Structure 1
Amino acid sequence: MTSPRQLTPNTEASLLAAEFFRRSAGKWRSERRYYTLPDGETKEMVSMITICFLAPGCPELEQLAQLHQLDDAAILTCGAEVSWESTNSVSGKKESKGATLFGVGGTTLYRDRGFATTKPVTAEYYFSNPQTMCLRTKYKGSVFEEELKLIGNNYRTRQTIISRAGEQQMIGQYLEKRQ
């Protein structure tokens, strides 16, 4: 008789991340609102986002492993490529366009760039439940705490809190609808 497979916290986190990225794959319309603290100034954006699941050993994950100077690209068990085009909801002005890579290695999420930098960054992540991924990223003196939640098959919510020197600087709230 064989015993049930034992999952380590890293293995379980990687499996949850793979399922989360698979379920997130597709095209999304993201309606965002950023609140600058403490004055409360708001900025509203709409972004069209495309998410592609990345399987182990794919060229994008190998590239990401090289950026992070990982000895073995197989550390990255899955990932996602996210591209976006953002427009200011009020003015209609194009705000940004780009793409980023994510790779999962244990409980670390490797990225080719951060929210406020073009340099490679890492985030620690965990799942509060199988539908909710929580991230904590630190660089350039700032801390980015994010929660991404899948709601059924057609909706996601996100919230980001950006802090510097222990003071909250900005809150971003997002409602994303599958297209």
Structure 2
Amino acid sequence: MDIKEFFEQSSGKWFAQRTHYNLASQAAGSSKAEIEIEFLAVDAPEIVQLCEQQHVSSAQACGGLKISWDNSVDWGGTKEKGFAILVAVPDSENPQTGKFLRGSSNPKEQSLAGDYAIGEDEALTLTLENGSLHAEERLWFASPNLRLRSSFVKNNGRFSDSTFYSEIRRMVAPAT
């Protein structure tokens, strides 16, 4: 599986459950969200704009994702809606690795760039380093309709956050 196939398989509507641990404060929490993932072609305006912001030619990209979330299904939680754009720029010599660009619907967040790799197990690992911050997220499919994610964040070389997600694809019943 290459990055484009991984992105295409991720497309759809998902119900997500998240468990989060903040190691610094020793706090744990869980939440739920509705996620919609849309595959974007390389000429999509969102991809072109994000590539321009990161000084990357959109011709080098192989596509991207628009990931929208709404956690209003989580009773009692802080309500959040938003989206992120993720663009893959494969390495020309080894397309199982490359750069990824990330943009956000939050104007206070700057766009970011990191690295990706798809392992022999077809899991996608995203790695981001920004100063003393190191973040890593691993995504994989347990089945075509069950996607799992785990992530951790290190600040100044120390683990600060760990999160696990399970995402179940929403299926549409056929018309009768």
Instruction: Tell me if 1:75 matches 2:60.
Output: yes
User: CA separation in 2, counterparts of 1:144 and 1:46?
Assistant: 22
Match of 1:132 in 2: 123
Tell me the distance in 1 between the aligned counterparts of 2:105 and 2:27. 23
Displacement after TM superposition at 1:169 (Å)? 0.3
**Structure 2: runs of 5+ lacking an equivalent:** 91-97, 171-176
Alignment-derived partner of residue 169 in structure 1? 160
TM-score if structure 2 supplies the norm length? 0.84
2:146 maps to 1:160: no
Q: Select the structure that is richer in helix.
A: 1
- Residue 86, structure 1, aligned to residue 71, structure 2: yes
RMSD of the TM alignment (CA)?
2.1
1:113 CA displacement? 3.8
Further displaced range: 124-133 or 75-84 = 124-133
1:110 counterpart residue number: 101
Aligned with 1:61 (options 27, 44, 47): 47
Residue 140 of structure 1: how far off its partner (Å):
5.2
User: Following superposition of structure 1 onto structure 2, how do residues 4-43 of structure 1 map, counting pairs within 5 Å?
Assistant: 16-43=2-29
Q: In structure 1, list runs of 5 or more residues that go unmatched.
A: 1-14
Aligned partner of 2:137 in structure 1 is: 146
Return structure 1 stretches of 4+ with deviation > 6 angstroms.
none
Give the superposition deviation at 1:129.
2.8
TM-score, normalised relative to structure 1 = 0.82
Alignment match, 2:80 = 96
Q: Distance in 2 between matches of 1:124 and 1:95?
A: 30
Quick one: percent identity of the two aligned structures? 24
